[in-house]
């Protein structure tokens, strides 16, 4: 069954090429190369139900486009060389530093190499409990999100680590730069999240959604010379829903900087990438009972954004 995606051209996107507009509409979960293939293959139609088969078509405000994404092709489980720094290596599991721009596993519309391909290249022991397409994957980080991720080496570890996540016994913290200033210097966002009813690649706040709780503290404010406001946050997750941080802060009118999926201004900061870093994990080793902590320092693109933010 095909996945149907829809997008309407807002005024600020008028004049963009069709492939770039769709990339901005669908965010980092879909590659531009995939979008171009859909266009060339006749999968994109306009509001008049006419096939749009040229990526260079210029869109204008009010145009509406629909994309019928074909069924996923056979799994791409080929080993691919990839830079995956190991932060902690134990007998039953690993903690890795996942780069930004690499999906945790393959998804609809994106056939670019994922973390799974890199894992298969570097590690012989990986759990199979998560399914054939997700060896070693216990939890996921969004494709544009950088940071710490737990990898299970065997099925026993996968089960024990999954149980820790289920019981919320793994502490996760993130750093993020957001646009604007949150309503409070320190607070909690407790709003339910569900799949967006129309834009199927997105999540949204909905009373029909699952309870989602995000705690945050502002560490720094920056006001740029052009009047833009930015805030640097330390974020803790009580729950772990898809796109939780991104959706919650969009709901506060403070989208994460560089978010192409949830921020209309995301493309203005595209060169910095999504400013969201999973920097801290803490849990009890389910085999030894030892307290495990892993930390990441701010990476180059976060430091570069902080340096340039006052000038933006």
Structural domains for the chain: 4-68 (3.10.290.10), 74-167 (3.30.2350.10), 168-311 (3.30.2350.10)
pTM of the model: 0.79
**Which is higher by pLDDT, 282 or 29?**
282
pLDDT band at residue 233 under the 50/70/90 scheme: very high
Least confident of 67-71, 83-87, 153-157, 249-253: 67-71
Q: What's residue 286's pLDDT? A: 94
User: ∠ CA 225-145-100 to the nearest 5 degrees?
Assistant: 95
Q: What's residue 150's pLDDT? A: 96
pLDDT beyond 60 at 109: no
pLDDT beyond 70 at 25: yes
Rounded Cα gap, residues 17 and 124, in angstroms: 43
pLDDT beyond 70 at 71: no
Q: Span 114-126, mean pLDDT?
A: 92
Q: Span 225-229, mean pLDDT?
A: 94
Least confident of 50-54, 144-148, 211-215, 216-220: 50-54
pLDDT band at residue 72 under the 50/70/90 scheme: low
User: ∠ CA 139-252-102 to the nearest 5 degrees?
Assistant: 30
Q: Span 28-56, mean pLDDT?
A: 85
Q: What's residue 73's pLDDT? A: 54
Q: What's residue 110's pLDDT? A: 61
Q: What's residue 161's pLDDT? A: 94
Least confident of 66-75, 201-210, 251-260: 66-75
Q: Span 1-27, mean pLDDT?
A: 83
Q: Please write the tens of the pLDDT for every residue from 138-195.
A: 998 999 999 999 999 999 999 999 999 989 999 999 999 999 999 999 999 999 999 8
Q: What's residue 155's pLDDT? A: 93
**Average model confidence (pLDDT) for the chain?**
90
Annotated catalytic residue: which of 142, 155, 259, 285?
142
Q: What's residue 75's pLDDT? A: 60
How far, CA to CA in Å, does 196 sit from each of 15, 26, 150, 200, 209?
Answer: 27, 12, 28, 6, 10
β-pair type (276-284, 146-152): parallel
Burial class (CB in 10 A: 0-12, 13-18, 19+), 180: middle
Q: What's residue 136's pLDDT? A: 92
Q: What's residue 78's pLDDT? A: 87
Is 190 annotated as catalytic?
Answer: no
């Amino acid at each position: 069954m095909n996945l149907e995606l829809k997008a309407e051209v807002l005024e600020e996107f008028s004049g963009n090429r069709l492939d770039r507009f769709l990339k901005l509409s669908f965010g980092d979960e879909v590659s531009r190369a995939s979008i171009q293939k859909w266009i060339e293959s006749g999968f994109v139609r306009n509001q008049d139900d006419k096939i749009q088969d040229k990526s260079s078509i210029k869109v204008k405000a009010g145009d509406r486009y629909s994309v019928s994404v074909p069924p996923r092709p056979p799994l791409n489980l080929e080993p691919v060389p990839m830079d995956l720094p190991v932060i902690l290596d134990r007998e039953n599991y690993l903690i890795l530093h996942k780069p930004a721009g690499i999906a945790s596993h393959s998804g609809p519309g994106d056939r670019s190499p994922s973390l799974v391909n890199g894992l298969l290249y570097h590690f012989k022991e990986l759990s199979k409990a998560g399914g054939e397409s997700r060896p070693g994957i216990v939890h996921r980080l969004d494709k544009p999100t950088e940071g710490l991720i737990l990898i299970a080496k065997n099925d026993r570890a996968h089960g024990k680590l999954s149980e820790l996540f289920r019981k919320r016994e793994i502490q996760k913290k993130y750093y993020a730069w957001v646009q604007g200033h949150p309503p409070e210097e320190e607070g909690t966002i407790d709003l339910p999240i569900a799949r967006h009813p129309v834009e199927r690649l997105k999540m949204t706040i909905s009373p029909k959604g699952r309870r989602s709780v995000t705690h945050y503290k502002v560490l720094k404010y920056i006001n740029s010379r052009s009047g833009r406001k930015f805030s640097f946050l330390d974020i803790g997750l009580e729950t772990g829903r898809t796109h939780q941080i991104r959706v919650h802060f969009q709901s506060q009118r403070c989208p994460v900087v560089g978010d192409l999926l949830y921020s209309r201004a995301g493309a203005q900061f595209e060169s910095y990438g999504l400013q969201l870093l999973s920097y801290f994990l803490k849990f009890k080793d389910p085999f030894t009972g030892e307290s495990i902590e892993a930390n990441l320092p701010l990476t180059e693109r976060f430091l570069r954004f902080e340096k340039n933010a006052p000038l933006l």
